Structure 1
């Protein structure tokens, strides 16, 4: 059984690991929220000590100039893409923190660490509101875009949406809202559904997501659909009424969430997430740098559902 040091990488929130060919790639939010950096290694364990390479820095002004959040790295048709959320300096000054939009970068070189990254601009959605935490995946022969966004006519901070892509930075057709905060555990501190991540197992497609404020109330929820069902029909989706991964007071692991998934070389599913090991946060939790990246195996129940267990304690 695989276990990893806990924390796996310190002071890296919103972690994302891509397994591509013989390499693993790691990207995450940095505490300064000012740049995008990638690590690469030949193994999962090697990511801990891999040297981060800065591939993009935020400009001094404009729509991508503040609070660079939750990047993801994807390899689509032999090109590399990074999705990330960013805020505009002027909007931040006048309207407050939650003014992010989603943006995409493209690299057509073989090596994303040394290649040239080109800004493809904002990923536009039907309404121009707070948006963040995009991911992408291929399913049923189509490329999909999955993200969190504030709806103008739904209370709360963000819901989960799904749309097909015509290219990696352009939506095709009308998005479907998959989930909105409705249960108590999704509405603590803030009404939040964010950070969606895709996991396939057997004949089911799962989407995990994070809910509530980014303190000890942060936790993970779960959606799922039959792999052969139409993902744009809301009646095909199911939602867990209970969180699937939550704070462990016993193990001193608080606010686990904003996860992604990867696999070991043996094909075991790995949950990548962040959590703190204390609750005494001064000021806004988003500016506390100690949401550390952590890894644990996903186990599977006999009924085909994932069992995320509880967040393991820090290792000595």
Structure 2
């Protein structure tokens, strides 16, 4: 299924994406960190409101690249050589989402590198109403870069919060959509390229457990985590407007990734609110590696009050994860904003 809605304005905007991301990558590649001092310690949040929900944080060649929901039609990017520096890093507009019929709202951009090119997958809904929500994609550094809509569901159906899974030498696109039973669920579709899917998606997880149904039954915002030959798909569960928004996890058990029986759902949440630490509704996350490749960190949004809900109050926080003896990820407990954290291993002051 090919991309649609190709237009000249998209070419110009996507060229800006290509120029920015390639230029930043070249700067990062030429940055020598061998003799530099360690990076500074920091406290959460690392990016304050309002452009700080649904974060993707990528570490590449010693630089951190950050995108998140802006509540506008603009995709903004921050870059910093340290986690601490993200808070004051300038926001650069790299794309303005448009549709054939006027302005729209963009959210949950996901930044991904595939085969030495960068892609941003993002959700779009026309204003007002937030009705027809679909997933779009940008590509950088192509001969003729072009953005468009991924045809993920029949009848141009609602599909959001998408990201790429690299598994068994193939690409898959996992995202959130509504099933015929009205449950917002996790779907997966095969990809014929980083900008196109070859079939509609199939459901691999539905919000059937009690902890996935607080406020509303929801599975969304999935992100892959792979280690030692195992593949985990972590996702947000329950309604984001509640303090009980949290993370759950699936594990791929072999076989066809497009079949639900190839995935096993863990029976309890892996990351959730901490009243003691003053962290509520932690979710919609991404994972990134430390500059020296020895650590995995989580970036997520959360509120500082149980009543703040699903809006511009959510801020981006990060913390290091660990691994259980059985090989599963241990995300721990969301840390309080008063806790001083050491920087990721291998980070240097910049």
TM-score (norm 2): 0.78
Q: Is the 8 A contact 2:53 2:315 kept in 1?
A: yes
Deviation sequence 1:106-147 (CA, Å, 0-9, x none): 2217xxxxxx99552111123222211011132221122111
For the pair 1:106 / 2:139, whether they are aligned, the reply is yes
For the pair 1:186 / 2:225, whether they are aligned, the reply is no
How many angstroms apart in 1 are the aligned matches of 2:234 and 2:262?
A: 16
Deviation sequence 1:159-185 (CA, Å, 0-9, x none): 111122112221123533110110111
Selected match of 1:120 from 122, 147, 152: 147
Selected match of 1:239 from 265, 284, 301: 265
Q: Is the 8 A contact 2:106 2:122 kept in 1?
A: yes
2:95 match: 56
1:149 is paired with a residue whose SS is: strand
Selected match of 1:20 from 42, 48, 60: 60
How many angstroms apart in 1 are the aligned matches of 2:332 and 2:92?
A: 33
For the aligned residue pairs, the C-alpha RMSD in angstroms reads 2.3
Unaligned regions of 5+ residues in structure 2, if any? 1-38, 340-350
Highest RCO, 1 vs 2 (Cα 8 Å, sep ≥ 6) = 2
Deviation sequence 1:254-297 (CA, Å, 0-9, x none): 0000010001123211011000001233xxx33x3111000111
Q: Is the 8 A contact 1:107 1:117 kept in 2?
A: no
Which one has a bigger Cα radius of gyration? 2
How many angstroms apart in 2 are the aligned matches of 1:53 and 1:160?
A: 31
Deviation sequence 1:198-245 (CA, Å, 0-9, x none): 11121210111001111202111100124x644233322110111111
User: After superposition, where does 1:60-71 map in structure 2 within 5 Å?
Assistant: 62=100, 65-71=103-109
How many angstroms apart in 2 are the aligned matches of 1:102 and 1:199?
A: 21
Q: Is the 8 A contact 2:42 2:83 kept in 1?
A: no
Unaligned regions of 5+ residues in structure 1, if any? 110-115
Q: Is the 8 A contact 1:65 1:86 kept in 2?
A: no
How many angstroms apart in 2 are the aligned matches of 1:122 and 1:237?
A: 27
For the pair 1:278 / 2:323, whether they are aligned, the reply is no
2:199 is paired with a residue whose SS is: strand
1:77 match: 115
How many angstroms apart in 1 are the aligned matches of 2:262 and 2:313?
A: 38
1:310 match: 333
Q: Is the 8 A contact 2:60 2:291 kept in 1?
A: no
For the pair 1:255 / 2:300, whether they are aligned, the reply is no
2:86 is paired with a residue whose SS is: helix
- Greater displacement, 21-30 / 266-275: 21-30
1:195 is paired with a residue whose SS is: strand
Selected match of 1:290 from 313, 329, 336: 313
Greater strand content: 1
How many angstroms apart in 1 are the aligned matches of 2:323 and 2:144?
A: 38
How many angstroms apart in 1 are the aligned matches of 2:65 and 2:144?
A: 16
TM-score (norm 1): 0.86
For the pair 1:37 / 2:76, whether they are aligned, the reply is yes
2:44 is paired with a residue whose SS is: coil
